[in-house]
Amino acid sequence: MDDKSRTGGLDVFRLIAAFLVVTIHTSPLASFSPEADFLLTRIVARLAVPFFFMVTGQFVLSGYLTGKTRDFTAVGRFLKKILLLYGGCVILYLPVGIYAGHYQEVTPLSLVRTLFFEGTFYHLWYFPALLLGTLLLCGARRFFSLRGLLVLSAGLYLLGLLGDSYWGLTAQVPGVSTVYEWGFSIFGYTRNGLFMAPLFLLLGVWMGRRKTASPVKAAAGFLLSLALMTAEGFILRAFALQRHDSMYLLLPVSAAFLYALLLSWKKSPCRLVRTASTWIYLLHPAVILLIRGGAKLTNTVWLLVDNSLVHFLAVSLLSGLLAFLLAAILAAFTRKPYQKDRAWIEMDRGALEHNVLVLRSLLPDRCALMPAVKANAYGHGAVQMARALNQMGVSAFCVACIAEGIALRKNGVKGKILILGYTHPQQFSLLRRYRLTQAVVDYDYALTLNGYGKPLAVEIAVDSGMHRLGERAEQMESLCRIAQMEHLRVKGAFTHLCTDDTQDPEGQEYTKAQADLFYRAVNELRSRGLPCPKVHLLASYGALNYPQLAGDYARIGIALYGVKSDEEDYDRSQADLKPVLSLKARVSCVRDLQPGEGMGYGLAFRAKDPTRIAALAIGYGDGLPRALSCGVGSVLLNGKRAPIIGRICMDQTVVDITGIPDVKAGDVAVVIGRSADEYRSAYEIAREAGTITNEILSRLGTRLPRLLV
Ligand SMILES: *Cc1c(COP(=O)(O)O)cnc(C)c1O
C-alpha cells in the first residue's frame, strides 16, 4: 500500500550496509583496539548481509512465497539478473584470484565449493547464497506452508549456527563434528545459501507484510537486541568458540527490529543511492588492492595501509566515488521517459484484485474467469491488465479481434485467448502461430475455417436469441456438422445474453429462455458424442444477476473494472466492486480573465465576473468527450469541483478555478477518480455525455500512458 513511500529508509541503510561490509574487509579500528574492532566488524557489521537478504525477500519473493501470485516470472527475472551479475564479477575478479593463487589446485570439489558456496572472491559468496536461498525457498514452497517454511529455515539457521559462532561446542560432540567437518569440505562455511539465506529472505517477506511499526518501539527493540547480541559475541569470543563469526542467535532478532525501524521511516525512495551501494559492495575488494598497490608505489604503506583507520577511509572514499560515478552514468543511460508529464491513466492493482475475488466468490467454484480485455481492456491497457490478471491466477481471456490476441501473446500473456469476432482467412495462419482460439460465428464461417486445411482451435458461437453472431441454437444439424468438421478442434461453445441487465419480468424470462436453449443445444451435442468440453454464457450482468446459470467460464468485462455500464442498472448481487481506473491531467497554466473577456474557440465562454482559469493538458484527442464542454462536465482540483468552460479542444481543456485557492502550473487535476474527499466517477461523465461507462472508458486515447499502481 504505502510500500513506495517507506522504501527510502531501506535505501539509506543499503549505503550504510555497504560501508559496514567495507569495515569487515578493512578492520578500521584494528590499529587502536582489538575489542572495538571486534564490536564493529564482527558484531555490528554482521547486520549488513542479513539486511540485503531481507530486502530481496520483501521486494522479490513476497508475491510468490505468500501465494498471492502463482507466477514465477518476477523471481525468474531476478535470478537471471543475479546470475548475470555474478558471472560478470567472476570474470572481473578472475585475474585477481589467479594472481592471489586461488586456482593453483582445482579439483571438482573445490570448483563446487567456489562456484556454489564461497564465490570466486571473498565478497562474492553473497551471490551464490542469494541464488541458492531463493531456489530453496521457492522449491520448498510447493510442499510447505509459509509457516512451515519459517520452521524449516529457522532449523537450517540453527544448524548453521552450530558450525559458525558456536562451533567450539559442536566440535566437542564426536559424531556430529565429523558430519560438520565433512560438510565444511563441501561448503567451507555454514554462512551460505543453505543455512543462512533462507531465514533472512523469509524475514523480509514477513516484515514487508506487517503493518508499519512505531519507530520508538522498533528503535528500543533494536538497541536492546543489539546489546544482547554484543554480549553474545563477546562471551563466545571469551571462550574462543567461534570458527567464523557471521551468525549469532540474536542476529535474526536485531535484524528484524532494524528492518522495522527502517520501514517506519517515511522517506521517499532514492534510486541513485540504491545502485551506488551495490557498486560499493562489488568494487571495494578491487579498490583495496588498488590502494595497497598505490601505497607501495608511492612509499605510503605506513599511512595508507598500516594505519587501519586511514586505510578504511581511503578505501571507502575511493569506492564511494567510483560507485556514485558509475551509478550516475548508468542512471543517465537508463532514464525512462517521465510518464506523468501531461495526462495519464492510473490503474489500481488492489482494486482489480479485490474485484477478481468478489466475482469469483459470486460464481460457483467450477466457473473460472475469462476476463474480456478487448478494446485495450476497456481503455485500461490490455497487456498490463492481462499480465496482472495472470499473476492473480487468471488463465483465460477473450478479445474482440486477432490483433488484440497477438498483442497479448507477444507480451507474454499466458493461458487461453478466445477471439470473439470475425477473423479474415488471410490471418488463419496467425491463429495457429499465436495459439489463439477462434469463435465460429456461423455455419458458413465454419466451412471457411475448415477450408484452411490445418487444425484450428475453435469455440462454437451459439445464437440463443441475441441474433448478432453465432449459429442458431435451433439449427441442431448445422451445429453437429460444425463439431464434426475435420480440421476444427472444438474446445467449447458459448452464447451471449442480451437482456440480463434488466429487472423487468419480460427481460428476465428472455434470459432464462436463452440459457435454456443454449444448454439444450450443448446437451444434444454431448449426447451425440460430439466434442464440446467448455461452455459459457455469462458476461458481467449475467454473473451479477444469474450466477446459477454459469458454465465453465464467465466472460467478465465492465464489472471487473469495477463499474457497471450505468449506475442504475439492475444488479441483484449488490456486489461491492471498486473502480480500477483513474484519469489525471496536469495544469499547464493559470490566468485571470477580466469581466467581459471571452475564452477559447468561438469565444464560447465569456467571463461575467473576474475569473481565474486553468488550462489542463488533456482533450478530446485523449478520449475526453467533447460533449462535456461549456459547463456540462467538471474536474477535481485540490478536492474541489472545477467546471469545464468553453469548448474542449483536441489537446487542451480549460476549467474555472475561481474560488479554488493555490492552483498552479504542474498541479494534478482528477478527471476520473478521487481528489481528497471528492470523487468523480465514470458514471457522471457517461451521464453528462449521454452514453455508458463502457464507451467512455474504451475510448480513452492511446497516447495516455497507463500506469499500474
Ligand atoms: C464484450 C463482451 C463480453 C464482456 O461484456 P461485459 O458486459 O463488459 O462483461 C462478453 N461476451 C461477449 C461476447 C462480448 O462481446
pLDDT tens digit string along 121-141? 999 999 999 999 999 999 999
Q: Say what the pLDDT of residue 334 is.
A: 82
Position 203 pLDDT exceeds 70: yes
Q: Say what the pLDDT of residue 3 is.
A: 47
**Confidence tier at 268 by pLDDT (50, 70, 90):** confident
Q: Which of 356, 369, 370, 398 to mutate to test the pocket of ligand 1 (most atoms within 8 A of CB)?
A: 398
Q: Say what the pLDDT of residue 540 is.
A: 97
**pLDDT tens per residue, range 11-63:** 999 999 999 999 999 999 999 999 999 999 999 999 999 999 999 999 999 88
pTM recorded for the entire structure: 0.65
**pLDDT tens per residue, range 520-568:** 999 999 999 999 999 999 999 999 999 999 999 999 999 999 999 999 9
- Contact by Cβ (8 Å): 345, 704: yes
Position 430 pLDDT exceeds 70: yes
Is 374 considered catalytic here? yes
Q: Which three cell numbers stand for residue 206?
A: 514477513
Ligand 1 neighbour 556 (Cβ under 6 A): yes
**Confidence tier at 68 by pLDDT (50, 70, 90):** low
Q: Say what the pLDDT of residue 206 is.
A: 94
Ligand 1 neighbour 389 (Cβ under 6 A): no
**Confidence tier at 417 by pLDDT (50, 70, 90):** very high
- How far does the centroid of ligand 1 lie from the alpha carbon of residue 386, in Å? 16
Ligand 1 neighbour 555 (Cβ under 6 A): yes
**Confidence tier at 267 by pLDDT (50, 70, 90):** confident
Ligand 1 neighbour 558 (Cβ under 6 A): yes
Is 378 considered catalytic here? no
Q: Say what the pLDDT of residue 5 is.
A: 57
**Which residue has a Cα nearest atom 8 of ligand 1?**
557
Please state the rounded mean pLDDT for residues 153-169.
97
- Contact by Cβ (8 Å): 579, 561: yes
Position 343 pLDDT exceeds 70: yes
Ligand 1 neighbour 496 (Cβ under 6 A): yes
Position 423 pLDDT exceeds 90: yes
Marked catalytic residue, from 166, 189, 374, 510: 374
Q: Say what the pLDDT of residue 497 is.
A: 97
Marked catalytic residue, from 4, 99, 296, 601: 601
Q: Which three cell numbers stand for residue 323?
A: 560507485
| CA torsion angle 61 64 65 68 (round to 10) | 120
**Which residue has a Cα nearest atom 4 of ligand 1?**
557
CA atoms of 582 and 672, how far apart (whole Å): 5
Q: Say what the pLDDT of residue 1 is.
A: 36
CA atoms of 687 and 670, how far apart (whole Å): 18
> What number does the ligand 1 atom closest to the CA of 541 have?
7
Burial bucket for residue 424 (CB in 10 Å: 0-12, 13-18, 19+): exposed
Q: Which of 555, 695, 697 to mutate to test the pocket of ligand 1 (most atoms within 8 A of CB)?
A: 555
**pLDDT tens per residue, range 366-388:** 999 999 999 999 999 999 999 99
**Confidence tier at 2 by pLDDT (50, 70, 90):** very low
> What number does the ligand 1 atom closest to the CA of 559 have?
9
Ligand 1 neighbour 420 (Cβ under 6 A): yes
Other CB atoms within 10 Å distance of the CB of residue 503: 11
**pLDDT tens per residue, range 579-596:** 999 999 999 999 999 999
